[in-house]
């Protein structure tokens, strides 16, 4: 198989406030066996055999400016550890005021350093999802190569309703809250990362968002807004997001027991 450039953007710019503990260290920079949390999925993705055609060729990591030194040192440590295979060039980009802004900063850094071709692929992953597998990235890459964009999704287990008033407080229901609209669960999926897109579509969508000041919760939603909705690939139930401190404790136990 002919190798196709796959640029990796790893988003580690969150403050991790919902997973805050006494040391106030954002979850993505907390230590686990083998490195910091943000390195876990990165090293997993690097286990892809280059013969598959979808092994990452470079990395842009977005981080808060106050954590640049920590993040850079962690990546340098991986480079020096012969048992950990991080043999790709990397660079840091500053986190923005939103997820979309952070990704745009990474896009500009990627463009300046590596000049992607129009049909290159770019994968965007949240550092707070340490359990994503290399196989998932491979399947997304193959789907995106054919369709232009692919996101992983898992079936939702809860009944989902749409409420224009949101969740009501204990004080009672607002008079104009309106009735909840029950959605067909069989057609709903929860979307995860990594998400993979063709570079020209991805760049154009983010350039528009930056100009318009638009903010999205993920990149698939941004491309869908621009008329380029990605295909949905089967995600992984184990690819859950570390959000709360309880999530962190669970992740720490799992990672440190390996």
Tokens of 131: 């359990």
Tokens of 249: 């404790």
Q: Give the per-residue pLDDT at 33.
A: 83
User: Is residue 240 within 8 Å of 131, Cβ to Cβ?
Assistant: yes
**Residue 155: CB partners within 8 Å, gap ≥ 6?**
185, 188, 189, 190
Distance CA 127, CA 109 (A): 18
Supply the mean pLDDT for the chain.
90
Distance CA 69, CA 151 (A): 31
pLDDT in tens, 203-224: 999 999 999 999 999 999 999 9
User: Is residue 166 within 8 Å of 256, Cβ to Cβ?
Assistant: no
Q: Give the per-residue pLDDT at 22.
A: 46
Residue from 86, 83, 85 nearest 72 by CA: 86
With residues binned 3-state (H G I as helix, E B as strand, rest as coil), the percentages for the chain, rounded to 5, are: 40, 20, 40
Q: Give the per-residue pLDDT at 17.
A: 52
Q: Give the per-residue pLDDT at 19.
A: 47
Name the residue ranges covered by the structural domains of the chain. Answer: 6-155+190-256
Banded model confidence at residue 171, pLDDT cuts 50, 70, 90: low
Distance CA 46, CA 56 (A): 7
pLDDT in tens, 27-71: 999 999 878 999 999 999 999 988 888 999 999 999 999 999 999
- Fold entry, domain 6-155+190-256: Spore Coat Polysaccharide Biosynthesis Protein SpsA; Chain A (3.90.550)
pLDDT in tens, 69-89: 999 999 999 888 756 668 899
pLDDT in tens, 6-17: 999 999 997 655
* 3-class DSSP string for 44-92: HHCCCCHHHCCCCCEEEEEECHHHHHHHHHHHHHHHHCCCCCCCCCEEE
**pTM to 2 decimals?**
0.91
pLDDT in tens, 176-208: 556 789 998 888 999 999 999 999 999 999 999
Q: Give the per-residue pLDDT at 34.
A: 78
Q: Which residues pair with 7 in a beta bridge?
A: 58, 122
Number of neighbours of residue 173 by Cβ within 10 angstroms: 10
Q: Give the per-residue pLDDT at 87.
A: 83
First to last CA, the chain: 33
Q: Is 29 left (phi over 0), alpha (psi -120 to 50) or beta?
A: alpha
Q: Give the per-residue pLDDT at 86.
A: 81
pLDDT in tens, 122-155: 999 999 999 999 999 999 999 999 999 999 999 9
């Amino acid at each position: 198989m002919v190798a196709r450039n796959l640029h990796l953007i790893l988003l580690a710019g969150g403050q991790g406030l919902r997973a805050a503990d006494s040391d106030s260290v954002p979850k993505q920079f907390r230590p686990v066996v083998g490195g910091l949390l943000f390195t876990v999925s990165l090293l997993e993705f690097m286990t892809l055999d280059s013969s598959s055609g979808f092994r990452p060729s470079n990395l842009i990591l977005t981080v808060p400016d106050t954590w640049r030194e920590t993040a850079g040192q962690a990546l340098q440590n991986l480079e020096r550890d012969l048992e950990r295979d991080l043999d790709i060039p990397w660079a840091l980009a500053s986190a923005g005021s939103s997820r979309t802004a952070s990704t745009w900063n990474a896009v500009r850094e990627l463009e300046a350093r590596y000049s992607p071709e129009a049909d290159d692929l770019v994968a965007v992953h949240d550092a707070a999802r340490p359990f994503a597998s290399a196989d998932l990235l491979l399947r997304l890459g193959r789907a995106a190569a054919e369709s232009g964009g692919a996101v992983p999704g898992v079936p939702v287990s809860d009944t989902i309703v749409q409420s224009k008033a949101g969740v009501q407080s204990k004080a009672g229901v607002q008079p104009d809250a309106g009735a909840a609209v029950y959605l067909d669960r069989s057609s709903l999926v929860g979307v995860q990362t990594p998400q993979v897109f063709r570079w020209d579509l991805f760049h154009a969508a983010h350039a528009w968002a930056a100009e318009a000041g638009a903010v999205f919760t993920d990149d698939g939603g941004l491309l869908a807004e621009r008329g380029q909705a990605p295909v949905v690939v089967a995600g992984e139930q184990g690819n859950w997001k570390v959000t709360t401190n309880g999530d962190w404790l669970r992740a720490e136990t799992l990672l440190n027991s390996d």
